[in-house]
Amino acid sequence: MRFRSFRSVSLLIGLALSLAVVACGGESSSGSPPAPTKAGTPVGKFPGATVNLIRWAGDPWEAATKDAATRWGQTTGGTLNINAIPYENLQTKESLDLSSGTGSFDILYVHPTWFGQYASAGGLQPIDKYLSDGSMNPSGFSSSEYIPSILNQGKFNGTQYCLQDQISTILVAYRTDLYQQAGLSAPTSWTDLLTNAPKLAKPGVAGLAIPGKAIGDVSDIMSSLITAQGTWWFNPQGKASLDVAAATKAVQFYIDAGKLSPKGMLNMHYDDVTTLAAQGGAAQVVTLSTELAWLNDPAKSKTVGQWAYTPLSINGKAGGELIYWNWCINKSSKNPKAAYSFLQWYTGTSEQAKFAPKAATGAATASFYTDQTLAQALPFLPAMQQALANSNAQPSLATWPKLQDQIEHDVQAALSGTTTAAQAAQAMDQQLKSTLGT
């Protein structure tokens, strides 16, 4: 009898110990902290949990993620491995992981144009319940801290899958010294860019530089140009809704800007035109806001401190495409709570502000844009806010990658003189209608 009691007590103790070990041992536990965590600190304890993250390689962003991963690990007890690979291979690697269901990567960095493909195939983990779970977020946290128009981009069929960072848009940078020398006032519309360019041009300095390479750049710029005119590729129901007259105007601007640009613009990426501008080869440049930090980086620029910024505007109305990246959790992740803990913390203002001055990227949180220190470090932030006040987000329809290619080829055909602006706009409209319907 005594022996049986002893065995029962041992079993109970063993069970209690096992539960304690499991409770402390990572993902199968609630992962919640004993006390509310303050904002700016990762939430949860995940000892023994390993989280694998995949993203594109490139500093300062890659270094920032690695640094954050180390600090997240120190606070939570988990291990976060960063797999930084070339951008060109990212989609393939993620697609293979999602389709095979192996869950090799818990956290995926997802371009908007891939998001629709991944979400519609059921490859991503919903995060609505995590966002609303008090135990998985810092005290006082609410998902309303994210700018709704940005947060909504991570939704598919009403379910939230991703959080965003790397916010950027298309902006114009212009040389204040050259404007002053030419006696010109600051440009307020894109027609000003075209009329001022010949007055600013001189040997070795193009009046205007705009990228024309069909790897997303052309589509981003076209999106900004049509947004400023109050139209978009499709309506909220996902059906084609392009205003052909506005698209014609946008393509015409592109053609005119292309004529004022340096030779070879059809093979120029954002990097190329920004490098050219930083080296003093262009008086005005249309580029991605992320690239603008180069212009004032003494290591990369001969024109430091000579730049001012403005959005692409027409008839007094600025417009921009909301460009961003999604952080999503793999449906097959073995540690989704730990993955969420990292993402919630990493996409917050405090972490994003750490690398924003170097990276020139914005966060998805509202408080990021009211930070005075950041405003000083990022002189183009007001222009960016102005552009994003009237913006459309980079499309994430599953059919968008092919449509984007077609739109870019239509614009390139007009830029090389094969078609007119009106013909290019008509072609885009037809392709949108045949793919998305009306």
Partner 1 sequence: MNELTQKLSDQGPRLMRASFRWRDLGDSRWLGYWMVTPAVLALAGLILAPLLYSTVLSTYSWTLLEIRLPKPFVGLMQYSTVAHDPLFGEALKTTGLFVVGTVSVELVLGFLIALALLNIHRGRRLANGIILLPMIVTPVIVALIWRYLLDPQFGLVNYAIHLLGYQQDIPWLGSNSLALPSLIVIDIWEWTPFAILVLHAGMLAIPDDLYEAARVDGAGAWQIARHVILPYLSPLILVVLLLRTMDTYRVFDTIFVLTRGGPGTSTQTVGIYAYENGFVYLNMGYTMALSVVILIAIVVISLFYLRLLQRRPQW
Q: Which residues bind partner 1 (CB under 8 A)?
A: 88, 91-92, 95-96, 98-101, 117-118, 120-121, 123, 212-215, 262-268, 276, 279, 281, 401-402, 405, 409, 412-413, 415-416, 418
173 Cβ contact list (under 8 Å, min separation 6): 277, 284, 285, 287, 292, 295, 307, 308, 309, 380
**Chain CA centroid to CA 382, Å:** 18
Residue type at position 27 = E
DSSP 8-class letter at 394: P
Closest distance to partner 1 from the beta carbon of 104 (Å)? 15
CB of 171 to partner 1, least distance (A): 22
C-beta of 77 vs 281, nearer to partner 1: 281
Report yes or no: 241 and 247 within 8 Å, Cβ to Cβ.
Answer: no
* Cβ at position 174, least distance to partner 1 in Å: 19
Quick one: 117 or 349, whose CB is closer to partner 1? 117
Whole-Å CA distances, 109 to 53, 192, 220, 228, 314: 8, 38, 19, 29, 34
**Least CB distance to partner 1 at residue 160 (A):** 20
The sign one gets for the Cα dihedral 194, 196, 200, 201 is positive
> d(Cα 250, Cα 408) in Å, to the nearest integer?
13
Q: Are 172 and 284 in contact (CB under 8 A)?
A: yes
Nearer to partner 1, 91 or 149 (CB): 91
- Toward partner 1, which CB reaches closer, 365 or 412? 412
Measured CA to CA, the distance from residue 71 to residue 65 in angstroms comes to 10
Residues in contact with 252: Cβ distance below 8 Å, sequence separation at least 6, in sequence order: 421
Which of 391, 406 has the CB closer to partner 1? 406
Rg, the chain, Cα only: 25
Q: To the nearest whole angstrom, how small is the minimum distance from the Cβ of residue 80 to partner 1? A: 25
Q: Min. distance of Cβ 404 from partner 1 in angstroms?
A: 9
Q: Is 78 helix (H, G, I), strand (E, B) or coil?
A: coil
**DSSP secondary structure letter of residue 205:** B
Between residues 46 and 270, which has the closer beta carbon with respect to partner 1? 270
**Least separation, in Å, of the C-beta of 129 and partner 1?**
24
Nearer to partner 1, 115 or 307 (CB): 115
